[in-house]
Amino acid sequence: MEADIVIVGAGSAGCALAYRLAEAGVQVLVIEHGGTDAGPFIQMPAALSYPMNMARYDWGYRSEPEPHLGGRRLAVPRGKVLGGSSSINGMVYVRGHARDFDHWAEAGASGWSFADVLPYFKRMEHWHGGADGAPSDWRGDSGPLHITRGPRKNPLFQAFVEAGRQAGYPVTEDYNGHQQEGFGAMEATIWRGRRWSAANAYLKPALKRPNCTLIRALARRVVIEEGRATGVEVTRGGRTEVIRARREVVLAASSINTPKLLMLSGIGPAAHLADRGIAVVADRPGVGGNLQDHLEVYVQMAAAQPITLYKYWNLRGKALLGAQWLLTRGGGLAGSNQFESAAFIRSRAGIEYPDIQYHFLPIAVRYDGRAAAEGHGFQAHVGPMRAQSRGTVRLGPNPEAPPEIRFNAMSEARDWEEFRACIRLTREIFAQDAFKPYVKHEIQPGAAVQSDDEIDAFIRDHAESAYHPCGTARMGRRDDPGAVVDPDCRVIGVDGLRVVDSSIFPRITNGNLNGPSIMVGEKAADHILGRGLLPPSNAEPWINPGWRIAQR
């Protein structure tokens, strides 16, 4: 089998890339190890805690013991299914802040500033959030990716936004538009009560074209002949074969599996490859380095009124929601991810743009689906956006072994300072008058946890990954020894090979990474097609005018 372009990975970026290349008439073949995304556990938004905990849909990775988190191993779910992690995530849609992308350009990813990427965010979006339609300067209204807002019928959603206003923070009409900073409605990749994954938005329409093909196989390595990628070695049906690429191979296998495939192909830190008995094709020390993530904790409050989702957190309640969704495929509780209010704030004066994110949820529950023992409650997921700590992805002892993931989380003193601020600022928000009718007491961390040392101990025991790993094949100048790909997403040192996924992020963006990952696939398609990029935008984002002297 062969094609013009062979894409490894049917995840967020890979699906978008396949769609745009096929649309342009290129013959595309997509390799995906995972299976079908059919079934209610993936497609029903309210069931979001299930697929990321199911071996059928998740690679099941865990980090190595984290020395600064008491030796705990963090869960690192990655989608092993059509749509990749967009089929098992929380469906939250965040573009990132404009300054995130300006930093990319300053770090050597020329052509990836906010002005450059905004047209691609607009091209991919079909936004349903505006009462009067999508403002043309900021949002798209005809792209494949439907973006909606929940109904916010539970009074706790409005209480969260009002508490932010009472605490002195701005309220934003659209954190993905002109002004990210502030409290407001959260957006989601949900359409007509169904998860609108990259598979639903991009891959399935692409596969209706005769020039786009999907095969189920496990990619083992990129075949490189005389310095050029010519295909991908895969196993399927118990046999090993090579799928040939007439023009290029593109790795879009996630920020965990893409560096693994690069290293198995001889591209990576020479000493590490030699240690694993792999011949070096290109010594790129940045492969598998620069690993970043968002850590978060759940600040949980016991509810004074029985208005939370806890009343559905039993077999009968879940069965009712499931039946409602199966019968109507509509909205209601089953058609929402329940993350319907959000906030982005700055931790202190002197920070130009937000460095703290909130997801608000009207139940006290863990991502693995275990509810708080105290019954009715609600919580804010909170964590810093731009941690200083950096980790690595390295090969396991053999090619079949899972990669060794070390986040090295909380290894920098400033990360602790920012995380303490997260918890203290959250407590202040929950203490506002808007929450007075609803707060009974604090469940977690608990009123007794007050000093720096006590808060640090809570963080050490309870901080979890927000499942936003990125940066492990970062984009930069071709003469940058730490860069892995150039601004055209081409792997430095090998011809005919590109990386198109969150691996290439020079620095992690504000918020959830699904949106920026899809944008990378959209924009990379134009780089590959060589047909010219969309004209840069002149839109100017809002920056708090008092940021130098005030925290809010």
Report the distance separating Cα 76 and Cα 74, nearest Å: 6
Are 470 and 256 within 8 A, CB to CB? no
Distance between CA atoms of 376 and 306, rounded to whole angstroms?
A: 6
d(CA 547, CA 354): 10
| Entry field: residues in the chain | 552
Distance from C-alpha of 66 to C-alpha of 50, rounded to nearest angstrom: 25
> Closest Cα to residue 48, out of 36, 59, 40, 56?
40
CA 299 from chain centre, in angstroms, equals 21
Q: Is 272 a catalytic residue?
A: no
Q: How far apart are CA 174 and CA 179, in angstroms?
A: 7
117 annotated to a ligand binding site = no
- Bridge partner list, 229: 224
382 marked among binding-site residues: no
Angle between helices 514-529 and 12-23 (to 10 degrees): 30
| 494 has binding-site annotation | no
Q: In terms of Cα–Cα distance, which of 13, 342, 20, 418 is closest to 185?
A: 342
Torsion angle defined by CA atoms of residues 412, 413, 415 and 420, in that order, rounded to the nearest 10 degrees: 160
Distance CA 380, CA 298 (A): 6
User: Are 116 and 42 spatial neighbours (Cβ–Cβ below 8 Å)?
Assistant: no
Q: Is there a binding annotation on residue 92?
A: yes
Residue 266 marked ligand-binding:
no
Any bridge partners for residue 72, and if so which? 66
β-pair type (267-268, 282-283): parallel
Max Cα distance, the chain (Å): 70
Structure tokens at 454: 């006590």
CB atoms within 10 A of CB 316: 8
* Marked catalytic residue, from 33, 103, 294, 468: 468
Reported as type and span, the H/E element at residue 274 is helix 270-275
Those residues whose C-beta lies under 8 Å from the C-beta of residue 4, and which sit 6 or more positions away, are 26, 27, 28, 245, 246, 247, 248
Cβ neighbourhood burial of 52 (10 Å; 0-12, 13-18, 19+): buried
Active site residues: 468
Please report, in range form, the residues annotated as the binding site for FAD.
81, 89-92
Please report, in range form, the residues annotated as the binding site.
81, 89-92
